[in-house]
Amino acid sequence: MKKIISKVLSLALIASMAFAFAACSGSSDKKDEDSITIEKGKLIMATNAYFPPYEYYDGDKIVGIDVEIAQAVADKLGLELQIEDIEFDSIIAGIQAGKYDIGAAGMTVTDERKKSVNFTDVYANGIQAIIVKDGSEITDCDTLLDGDYIVGVQTGTTGDIYLTDDIGEDRVDRYSKGNDAVLALIQGKVDAVVIDNEPAKAFVAANDGLKILDTEYTNEDYAMAISKDNEELLKQVNQALKELKEDGTLDAIVEKYIPSEG
Ligand code: GLN
């Protein structure tokens, strides 16, 4: 009899242990499901903060259109926004490696990039503009492409990718920041800079003797990049963007940084 009781007891013990294990793994599963971001409660955004007015330093704070849109999205999702300023060229790889939740960097949607990351709905448009020195003999896109001019670009941007395709490696000088490409133009190391139109305007306004040509190299859509492994975050960010568009928040943020004329 004693033996039977102890057998029953040990079975009960095993059963309760198994239950405890099940409860354990059950609760940790739930924890993962709860968090749609890398760190629970946080939205980690990768950007390159030398791209005014989308992202730039105001003192030691990073501000701009992308920052405010990402903040509004984070607020809607109940997450705290954390910004990481890295090389533009490392953003997509970092998202793929699971280091950042979103890339918000005036990033153009391209078919090539779509092979590596998902893009949210488009929230802005950009143009690749051509900056030259006042009095330059480069007057439009064709003169730029057909001559043997050297063009400065920011590494890994669409300006870099498309120009390298059009005129070849030898005529493209790459810089890690847009500012450095513009500095090279001022110093006469390159003949022109191809960069997105809004930063182009900011760089031209900040430096004497430069102008933007009245001609576009390409017209592009900006969206945020998210890991292909995180469909749920993509869905939620798109929903937030949709609501922010509908209630006028997106337009108000853009208007704050790029006031429409008139
Ligand atoms: N729109 C360009 C691109 O996606 C440049 C973006 C940037 O320099 N931040 O390549």
Q: Domain containing 137 — which CATH number?
A: 3.40.190.10
Q: Does the residue 167 lie in any domain? A: yes
Within this chain, do residues 216 and 133 fall inside the same structural domain, yes or no? yes
Within this chain, do residues 198 and 115 fall inside the same structural domain, yes or no? no
Q: Does the residue 7 lie in any domain? A: no
88 touches ligand 1 (CB under 6 Å): yes
- Both tokens assigned to 8: 């029953």
Within this chain, do residues 161 and 198 fall inside the same structural domain, yes or no? yes
Within this chain, do residues 199 and 81 fall inside the same structural domain, yes or no? no
Q: Does the residue 31 lie in any domain? A: no
pLDDT at residue 26, rounded to an integer: 41
State the Cα–Cα distance between residues 180 and 252, nearest whole angstrom.
Answer: 31
Q: Does the residue 15 lie in any domain? A: no
Within this chain, do residues 242 and 229 fall inside the same structural domain, yes or no? yes
State the Cα–Cα distance between residues 132 and 224, nearest whole angstrom.
Answer: 30
Q: Does the residue 2 lie in any domain? A: no
Nearest CA to ligand 1 atom 8: 157
- Both tokens assigned to 155: 């590494």
Within this chain, do residues 193 and 236 fall inside the same structural domain, yes or no? no
State the Cα–Cα distance between residues 228 and 131, nearest whole angstrom.
Answer: 35
118 touches ligand 1 (CB under 6 Å): no
128 touches ligand 1 (CB under 6 Å): no
Within this chain, do residues 137 and 97 fall inside the same structural domain, yes or no? no
pLDDT at residue 10, rounded to an integer: 55
158 touches ligand 1 (CB under 6 Å): yes
Within this chain, do residues 192 and 144 fall inside the same structural domain, yes or no? yes
pLDDT at residue 25, rounded to an integer: 43
Q: How many domains does the chain have?
A: 2
92 CA to centre of ligand 1 in angstroms:
12
pLDDT at residue 260, rounded to an integer: 85
Q: Does the residue 172 lie in any domain? A: yes
The series of mean pLDDT values per 10 residues for the chain, 262 residues long, is 52 49 41 77 96 96 98 98 96 98 98 97 95 97 95 96 96 94 97 96 96 92 97 98 97 94 58
Sheet holding 124-133, edge to edge: 172-175, 151-154, 192-196, 124-133, 210-222
152 touches ligand 1 (CB under 6 Å): no
Other Cβ atoms less than 10 A from the Cβ of 244: the count is 20
Within this chain, do residues 86 and 161 fall inside the same structural domain, yes or no? no
The Cα angle at residue 180 between residues 192 and 174, in degrees rounded to 5: 65
Burial class (CB in 10 A: 0-12, 13-18, 19+), 59: exposed
* Residue carrying the six token digits 């849109």: 69
Task: For residue 77, give its domain range.
Answer: 42-123+223-257
37 CA to centre of ligand 1 in angstroms:
24
200 CA to centre of ligand 1 in angstroms:
12
Closest CA to 177 of 48, 46, 45, 61: 48
Within this chain, do residues 118 and 132 fall inside the same structural domain, yes or no? no
Q: Does the residue 207 lie in any domain? A: yes
CA atoms within 13 A on the CB side of 144: 26
Q: Does the residue 19 lie in any domain? A: no
46 touches ligand 1 (CB under 6 Å): no
50 CA to centre of ligand 1 in angstroms:
10
123 CA to centre of ligand 1 in angstroms:
14
18 CA to centre of ligand 1 in angstroms:
54
pLDDT at residue 217, rounded to an integer: 86
Within this chain, do residues 211 and 227 fall inside the same structural domain, yes or no? no
Within this chain, do residues 115 and 133 fall inside the same structural domain, yes or no? no
pLDDT at residue 4, rounded to an integer: 53
